[in-house]
Structure 1
Amino acid sequence: MNIGGTIPPFICDLNNLTVLDFYYNTIIGMFPVVLFNCSELQYLDLSQNFFVGFIPDDIDRFTRLSSLYLSGNNFTGNIPAAIGRLQQLKVLDFAGISLTVFSLRNLVGIQSLKHLRFHPTGSWESAWIFMQRRKFSRLVAFDNNLNGELPESLGNCSSLLIVSVSRNAFTGNIPVGLWTAFNLTYLMLSDNLFMGELPNEVSGNLSRLEISNNKFSGKIPTGASWRNLVVFNASNNLFSGTIPQELTALSRLTSLLLDGNQLSGSLPSDIVSWKSLTTLNMSRNQLSGQIPEEFGSLPNLLELDLSENLFTGEIPPRLTL
């Protein structure tokens, strides 16, 4: 069902209304101030509609609001200072709208705020500083035109759980402290211009690392702190050297994508523990020798791509069953 037109004022006749979700409709007009009359409202999603104009200066009339989604509309102007008085707000999403990043200072007073999603159109540096001071757990800024280097101060954000800045134009090295941020579980950096080598030591909680389509180089790391990795996507970089034996000891690994690099030598013949591996792609490298029999004994393997290498000999019989 698609809802159009404007939001009717009688909706707040529902005295106990706490959740209002208008996501992905064709509603038009200014910010629906009639909703201020919904005194119990805690969750409001107006995202992906056709709202225009300013966010009201008295938006703090939503005294109980904990989640506010405004992304994908045509709101303009500043973030009003009143948002900083929404003391129960935990989630604020205004991605894809032309609000001024400098006014992020208006959010500093919201002690409960845990999830902030935005696409910066002003000073990106002010956003980094804001995040560092507020101890955010997520940085989500994919699919933008952001460029330059990630600031070293980002490596001091020890509270980060998820960093997703894929599909931008970032350059340079990853801040050293970011690799080892204690709580970091997802690091998604694909489709940028990052460079440098991967460290042997990363956060012991890191489970997903996506760095495809960059300019990372050097050898595939072998540090013990990689033990909890579930997804490792390093396609289309400049990695060289051999596939380390230690990589086969990652028992939780389900997806390993190393295609489109400059890896050479033979495949590991002794697989320690790839019992969870479902996807393995090492195509478009310079790997050589025979394909080990052990690759036909991986219990959960569903996809295997070793094309465009220099392998010789016969294909293991179990791979042809």
Structure 2
Amino acid sequence: MEFKFRLLSIGLGHLQPRSPSRNVVTLDIYSFVTSLAPEVVVKSAVLAPLFRITTLTKLDISSNSIQGELPTNGIANFIKLLHLDLRENSFNGSIPTKLFCLQRLQYLDMSSNMLNGILSQEVGALRKLRTKAIVAENRFSGGLSNSLLHLTELQVLDLRNNSPSMQIPTNTRTLSNISTIALSKNQLTGHVVEPVDLSENDLNGNFPEWLAEHNIETIILSDNKLTGSLPTPLFQSLNLSVLALSRNYFSGELSRNIGDTTSVMILMLASNNFLGTIPKTISKIYRLLLLDLLQNKFSGNTFPSFGPDALLAYGDVSSNRLSGEVPVNFALGTRSP
């Protein structure tokens, strides 16, 4: 008989399920230690007995402030494991290579720890990863392994706030199911090749045409070194809701029919080199809530007229070369966030 339970007792040096005669498939110890005994220091060695429970399909030991390295022996015994959640602990050291033997793993979250070292090429062995692969807010270094491209079923890849410093992988179109790639607050270089949040890096090159043609809801590329004009297909996606490209080196004019083809809600293009007149059709974007064109080279003496039914809550066109009257619902002199 299979059953699910929440761990009921923590011993010093061992963890025991209540009924060892049954097949345990789910073990949930989320915030167990911190909620009962926040002053207790739990070392990672206490996890070793768990490796005898080879029937587990889900293991959640998140938010327990567990300290030390992940045990290297025994992890491979979780041959049926589908879901592994280790987030919000104090694990350090590198990821044990035996973790990459968990061929059935579909969900992996190791965020908010102190893990370090290089993301091994063997990460590509976890080909069943589907829902999430999250290692954000750790201390990983080195480049991003091209073996990530083998995770063809992956939907979310989150590597935010580490320090990988080499170029991001190329040919990432093999990640055909991906909806979110978050790599912000790293030291990435090279040409941008995937969405969604790649802000605060050192990416360069033009906005890629193929990315503009994807049906992506959110694109955040602020605070990079991207150049060139924006491709027309970018504003032809009906799914695009957020486009944040502030503080780059983009240039050129915005599409004249921007308001006829997009339904974007947040458009942030501050601190670039865009020029020409601001397209009148921009006022036709019926969902537009925030428009930030601060500190560009827009010129002209006419401005789009937003009607009384417009949803626009904030607009900023200051530090441009505009003349004439600007609508009163536009803030001036405020820097884009």
Same fold (TM over 0.5): yes
SS of 2:285's equivalent in the other structure is: coil
TM-score of the pair, normalised by structure 1: 0.78
Paired position in structure 1 for 2:315? 304
- Say whether the 8 Å CA contact 2:15–2:50 is kept in structure 1: no
Using the TM superposition, give the Cα deviation of residue 210 of structure 1 relative to its aligned residue in structure 2, in angstroms: 0.6
Paired position in structure 1 for 2:285? 274
Of 157, 160, 167, 1:139 maps to: 157
Residue type at the aligned position of 1:192 = N
Q: Distance in 2 between matches of 1:212 and 1:37?
A: 47
Q: Residues 131 and 264 from structure 1, CA distance in 2 versus in 1: closer, same or farther, beyond 3 angstroms? A: same
Paired position in structure 2 for 1:223? 233
CA RMSD of superposed structures (Å): 3.3
SS of 1:294's equivalent in the other structure is: coil
Are 1:13 and 2:10 matched, yes or no? no
**Number of aligned positions between the proteins:** 302
Using the TM superposition, give the Cα deviation of residue 197 of structure 1 relative to its aligned residue in structure 2, in angstroms: 1.8
Q: Residues 296 and 84 from structure 1, CA distance in 2 versus in 1: closer, same or farther, beyond 3 angstroms? A: same
Q: Distance in 2 between matches of 1:151 and 1:46?
A: 31
Per-residue CA deviation, residues 80-106 of structure 1 (Å, 9 max, x unaligned), is: 42x345454211223444355465527
Are 1:28 and 2:33 matched, yes or no? no
Q: Taking every aligned residue pair, what percent have the same amino acid on both sides?
A: 23
Of 248, 254, 263, 1:252 maps to: 263
Q: 5+ residue gaps in structure 2? A: 1-8, 332-337
- Say whether the 8 Å CA contact 1:297–1:318 is kept in structure 2: no
Q: Distance in 2 between matches of 1:212 and 1:223?
A: 19
Paired position in structure 2 for 1:168? 186
Q: Residues 173 and 124 from structure 1, CA distance in 2 versus in 1: closer, same or farther, beyond 3 angstroms? A: closer
Paired position in structure 2 for 1:190? 199
Q: 5+ residue gaps in structure 1? A: 1-5, 179-185
- Say whether the 8 Å CA contact 1:251–1:273 is kept in structure 2: no
Paired position in structure 1 for 2:71? 55
Q: Distance in 2 between matches of 1:220 and 1:106?
A: 34
TM-score of the pair, normalised by structure 2: 0.75
Equivalent runs, 1:224-243 vs 2, <5 Å? 226-227=236-237, 228-243=239-254
- Say whether the 8 Å CA contact 1:269–1:292 is kept in structure 2: yes
SS of 2:203's equivalent in the other structure is: strand
